Amino acid sequence: MTMWDARDVRSASLPDLVRMCAPIVQQLEVTKLRQDATTPQGERRSSDAVPMVFRIGAAEVAGRITEVLRSILAAWVSEQERPVHRMLTVPQLVASLDPLRDWVVKHAQAETWHDRLLEQCLKALEQIDIPPERVFAGSCPSAGCGVELWPVMGEDVTVCPRCKAQVDVHARRREGLRRIEGYEAPLPRIVDTLRAAGEKITYDQARQWATRKDVRGRVLLRSVGHDQHGSRLYRLGDVRSVMMRTTRRKTRRSQNA
C-alpha cells in the first residue's frame, strides 16, 4: 500500500504531485510480480522470444510519469536556453524541479502537466494496490470490452466486471504460457514470470532444479547460454516442464503412500 490514497492525490497541487512521483515510482519498481513481463532489450536471443501475455502496467505507468516530469524540466531548460539532461532518473527530476515550484505553477502548461501527472499517479496507485494474491489473466475476450482481468490465484473461472462474461482462467494461462515457451532469461526472472501467471513455484525450487544432479550426474534444469552480463539463461518452457514433472511425481507418491 502507498502512503497516500486517491483522495490525497486528487487534491494535490502540481508541485505536490511532482514530489509524490519519486516514492510512487519507487513502489512501482519493487512490485516484482506486477512488472511488465516483456523480453528485455538487448537480451533477445531467440526469434521465439516474444512479448509476454502477462502484461502488467506498472512499468508503463512509471515510464509515463517520467515522460511528464522530463517535459516539465525540458520546458524550463528551453526557456533558460540551457542544455537539457533527458536521462535523469525520477528522483533526480523531482530534485531538479522542486526549486522551480513558483515557475511551474505559473507556467502556461501547468494545468496540462497537472492533469497528466494526476492521471498517471492515480493509475500508479491502482497498480501498487493490486493484492499480491491476484494474478493477471489478460484482457476480457468479449468483443469491444478489453477490461484487464485479475482473478485470485487458484481461481478456475473469473467474471469480467464490465460485461459479466465468464472466462476460463486455466485455459487463458495455458494458452499464454504456450506462446512464450521460447522466452529465455535469468532464472529469477523466469520464476517471477511464472508466479505472475499464477504458477506455484519458488526461487529455491528452481535453484535446486538447476544445481542438484541425478544419479547420472545430470541436472534437471539446464541453462541455454549466458546473457551480456554473464548470467545463466534458462528457457521458460524448460522450467515449466521440470515443474510439471516434479508435481506429477509428488502426486503419484502421495497417492501410493
User: What pTM was estimated for this model as a whole?
Assistant: 0.50
SS (H, E, C) the chain: CCCCCHHHHHCCCHHHHHHHHHHHHHHHHHCHHHCCCCCCCCCCCCCCCCCCCCCCCHHHHHHHHHHHHHHHHHHHHHHHCCCCCCCCCHHHHHHHHHHHHHHHHHCCCHHHHHHHHHHHHHHHHHHHCCCCCECCCCECCCCCCCCECCCECCCCEEECCCCCCEEEHHHHHHHHHHHCCCCEECHHHHHHHHHHCCCCCCHHHHHHHHHCECCCCCECCCCCEECCCCCEEEEHHHHHHHHHHHHHHHHHHHHHC
Rg value, the chain, Cα? 22
Whether 18 and 99 have beta carbons less than 8 Å apart is answered as no
- Given pLDDT bands bounded at 50, 70 and 90, which one contains residue 216? confident
191: exposed, middle or buried (Cβ count in 10 Å: 0-12, 13-18, 19+): buried
Residue written as cell 541436472? 219
In 3D space, the residue among 114, 115, 72 whose CA is nearest the CA of residue 90 turns out to be: 72
- Given pLDDT bands bounded at 50, 70 and 90, which one contains residue 41? very low
Please give the Cα distance from 179 to 204 (Å, whole number).
26
Whether 48 and 93 have beta carbons less than 8 Å apart is answered as no
How confident is the model over 84-112, as pLDDT tens digits?
566 788 999 999 999 999 999 999 999 99
Give me the percent of the chain exceeding a pLDDT of 70: 82
- Given pLDDT bands bounded at 50, 70 and 90, which one contains residue 248? confident
Looking at the predicted structure, is the pLDDT value of residue 42 above 60? no
C-alpha cell at 159: 467474471
- Which residues is 139 bridged to in the sheet? 148
C-alpha cell at 145: 470490452
Q: What integer pLDDT is reported at residue 34 of this predicted model?
A: 44
Q: What integer pLDDT is reported at residue 75 of this predicted model?
A: 92
Looking at the predicted structure, is the pLDDT value of residue 193 above 90? no
C-alpha cell at 236: 521458460
Q: What integer pLDDT is reported at residue 17 of this predicted model?
A: 95
Looking at the predicted structure, is the pLDDT value of residue 167 above 80? yes
Q: What integer pLDDT is reported at residue 179 of this predicted model?
A: 74
How confident is the model over 25-36, as pLDDT tens digits?
888 775 544 444
**Most trustworthy range by pLDDT among 1-10, 88-97, 226-235, 244-253:** 88-97
